[in-house]
Each structure stands twice: as C-alpha cells, then as structure tokens.
Amino acid sequence: MTEPDDEPGGVTVDRSLVDTSDPAPWFALMRRREPVWHDERFGMWHVFRHADVEAALTDHATFSSDSRAAMAAMPEFQPFTRGNFMVMDPPDHRRLRGLVSAAFGRRAMERLEPLVTAIVDDLLDEVKGAEEIDLVTALAHPMPVFVLADLLGLPRADRPTLFTWAKVLTGVDITAGAAPADPASSLREMNAYLLEVVAGRRRAPGDDLVSRLVQAEVDGDRLADDELVGIVSLLLIAGHLMATMLVANTVLCLDGHPEAAARVRADPEGLLPGAIEETLRYRNSADRLVRTATRDVELAGRAIPAGARVLLWTGSANRDPAAFTEPDRFDVTRTPNRHLGFGQGVHFCLGAPLGRLEARVALGRMLARMPSIEVLSGVEYFGSHSLIRKVPLRVRWV
C-alpha cells in the first residue's frame, strides 16, 4: 500500500472515523504526518513509528506499565493486582515473573506439545464431518483455556466454568447478542475458586504449576495467597485471549492470501512458523499498548509531560516501511521479522512460546485433517479489526 497523499481532516484524524476493518491507511497517515500525536480531547499521546514505539517499550523506567493504583478502586481486583506482573515495573515485575518463566521455556514446551495436540484433536473430533464450523467456538477459544487448565492442574470437570470466566473477564462475548455478564461478579467467583485451589495445593502439592508456585520462594519468602491468585488469573485470562486471536488471525491472513496459503499447505513444517510470525506482524490482536510517562520526555521531537498516558501503536509500528520491506505484503518467508506483536523489553509476552506452540499445533492439525479450508462471509469482530468473535469456515475432512 502506498502511504496516502490525500489526508482528510489533516492530523486531527480520529481513529473512530477510520474504517477499523483496515486501519493501515490511518496508520500510514499518522506515521508520516504526526508520528507522535497529542489528542487534546482525551489528553492521550499516540506513537506510531516502529523506532519510537520500540524505544518506549524498552525504556520501562520512563514509560511505565504500573497501573496498580488505577485498579485499586475495585476490591475484586486486589488479588489480581497483587500478582499481575503485567501491571508492574521492576523490581516487583522481575520478582513475580521470574517464578513463572521456567514454565514457558523451550524444554517445557517440548513436554507440553503432546498435550496440546491431544486437546486440539479432541476438539476437532467434536465437529468432524461438519461442512461448516465456527473456528472460534469450535477450536480457537476453548483450546488455550483447556491447555492452561491442565498446565495449572485444574480439574477437567471445571473447564466450562473456567471457559466462562475467561470470556467474561476479557470482554469476549462469544455468543453474539447474549446479555452481558458482570465482570466483578465473575472475578469474585474466580478469586474464591482459586483461593480454594491454592489452599489445597498448600496441603497436598501435586505435579503442576500451581503447586510449584505455592512452594516457590522469593528472597526467602513464600508468595502470599492473593499473589498466587493474581498470577494464576493472569495466565488464564491473558494466555487464552492471545492464543485464540493468533489462531483466528492466521487463518484469516492465509485465506486472504491464497498463494501464501498454498505454500504453507505444501510445506507446513517449514513455513507454518513463519506464517504465524508474519500474522503477529501483519494482523496482531494487540495493536496498541498503554504506558504512563514517569518524567518529562522528548520523543520524535515532541515534549511528553510526566504523568501523561501514552498509546504505543504496535499495529502501526509493524507496518512501518522504515522497519519492513513491503510492509503491507503478507510474506510467510519474511526474514528478519522484527515485529512487536509480543511487545518488547522487560514486558515481552511471557506466554509467547506457549502461544506459538498452540497456534502451530492447532493450524498444523487443521491442515492435516482438512484438505480444504475456506472462510465464509459473516466474520464478526469486537472492538478492533483483529479481535475476532466469529470465523465461519467451510471445510472438507480427510
């Protein structure tokens, strides 16, 4: 895509006025005309270029992720806040993240792959033979919840409840038109459930991640119950949404680029990982990240005051021609691919290895079991062009 010369409305273009099914033209306009833009109506600063977004993401001392104070108003959020290292900066962030990181290392993923494969095949077996399915409800949404439940050692009988909480607390109402659930109520229920799980593991540890966290020590101290609840909640909520959208977005990208899809189908082992990475660049669900300036700072010649809220548009950074050759082309062999789909710096997504594994296994099993996959009309979104509620597919089975 060529960056537009006709700039309707100048630099005051509001994203709400832009076709959110394809924000690339707006991203291109802002990168060129106002790469660091102050929206005076809402007091927000917006950053669009790859170099600037990456610089902010890697400078956590200046662009802080700590939003615990803003979450303190809701009592239900207290356990989630205390253990949620995503809303912390070092040293608190480092202390808690370090306890969990080993569970997502390379060896852990190798041990987990057979479990992911079994869950994917079980879900596909439930819809086998159907000529039309919804990718999200049949596979992409339940799969990561079930994987995380097994990783955490939670009973399989509790999967439906965990699945419901995950939907409510991420704002993902998979059933279009359903009455909205109360997040505060769901959070209270999940807190109570997880406190019971933690108490049970303290009495009788098992071979699961919750047990390892219960027994872990930080500077000679064990984690408090609410810290443990917060960590487990974070894994369930953030982990499932990322994997769900990565699977759905990769299918949409391949459907929209038939030549790339044919190449991946011909060599899934060699090209599917690259297709997943390119989806993270081309159509990632987390197209923006929020930070708070801790001091007066200059970025791309603009003076951002201390205390300002800053939106870092990773979706725009991932289409920046200064960082990517032919950025609007979906290229499954793109090398290098310096996308910011999983963030950058100390807050680089902890669950990235698991998300990649889940996407690779889910898509690989679909390709192996479905010689034909076609996206039908009726794809539904919520809130963003890459947050997907529904992906109707016409499929043929082996």
Give the phi and the psi of residue 201 in degrees, each rounded to 5.
Answer: -70, -30
Question: Quick one: pLDDT at residue 289?
Answer: 93
| Max avg pLDDT among 143-152, 166-175, 330-339 | 330-339
Q: What is the mean pLDDT of residues 68-96?
A: 75
The model's confidence at residue 11, banded by pLDDT at 50, 70 and 90, is: very low
Strand partners, 20: none
Question: Quick one: pLDDT at residue 70?
Answer: 67
Q: Are 318 and 312 in contact (CB under 8 A)?
A: no
Helix axes 268-282, 352-369, angle to 10 degrees: 130
Question: Quick one: pLDDT at residue 76?
Answer: 64
Q: Are 351 and 369 in contact (CB under 8 A)?
A: no
* The two structure tokens encoding residue 177: 């038109």
Q: Are 382 and 172 in contact (CB under 8 A)?
A: yes
**pLDDT tens-digit readout, 181-214:** 677 888 889 999 999 999 999 999 999 999 988 9
SS3 of residue 290 by DSSP: strand
Above 80 in pLDDT, residue 82?
no
| The dihedral formed by the CA atoms of 18, 177, 174 and 369, expressed in degrees to the nearest 10 | -100
- Ramachandran category for residue 171: left, alpha or beta (phi over 0 → left; psi -120 to 50 → alpha): left
Question: Quick one: pLDDT at residue 305?
Answer: 98
Alpha carbon of 214 to those of 163, 218, 233, 248, 296: distances in Å? Answer: 24, 11, 14, 34, 41
Q: Are 216 and 83 in contact (CB under 8 A)?
A: no
Question: Quick one: pLDDT at residue 227?
Answer: 86
The structural domains of the chain, with segments of one domain joined by +, span 38-396
Q: What is the mean pLDDT of residues 149-167?
A: 90
Alpha carbon of 270 to those of 118, 222, 255, 263, 273: distances in Å? Answer: 22, 44, 19, 10, 7
Q: What predicted TM-score, i.e. pTM, was given to this entire model?
A: 0.90
The model's confidence at residue 78, banded by pLDDT at 50, 70 and 90, is: low
| Max avg pLDDT among 105-109, 123-127, 163-167, 180-184 | 123-127
Where helices occur in 104-224 by DSSP H, the ranges are 106-127, 135, 142-152, 159-169, 183-203, 209-215
Q: What is the mean pLDDT of residues 211-227?
A: 84
**pLDDT tens-digit readout, 94-107:** 888 888 887 888 88
- Other Cβ atoms within 10 Å of 86 Cβ, number: 17
Tokens 């698991």 map to which residue?
354
Question: Quick one: pLDDT at residue 7?
Answer: 44
Above 60 in pLDDT, residue 163?
yes
Lowest mean pLDDT among 78-92, 191-205, 310-324, 363-377: 78-92
Length of the chain: 398
Superfamily per CATH, domain 38-396? Cytochrome P450 (1.10.630.10)
Radius of gyration from C-alpha coordinates of the chain? 21
Residue 227 exposure: Cα atoms within 13 Å on the Cβ side: 19
SS3 of residue 330 by DSSP: coil
Q: Are 201 and 232 in contact (CB under 8 A)?
A: no
**CA–CA dist 360, 106 (Å, integer):** 15
Tokens 């953030």 map to which residue?
238
The model's confidence at residue 220, banded by pLDDT at 50, 70 and 90, is: confident
Above 70 in pLDDT, residue 264?
yes
The model's confidence at residue 12, banded by pLDDT at 50, 70 and 90, is: very low
Strand partners, 38: 45
Question: Quick one: pLDDT at residue 74?
Answer: 64
Please, which residues have CB within 8 angstroms of residue 88's CB and are 6 or more apart in sequence? 65, 66, 68, 96
**pLDDT tens-digit readout, 26-51:** 899 999 999 999 998 888 999 999 99
Mean pLDDT score across all residues of the chain: 88
Question: Quick one: pLDDT at residue 10?
Answer: 44
Question: Quick one: pLDDT at residue 174?
Answer: 47
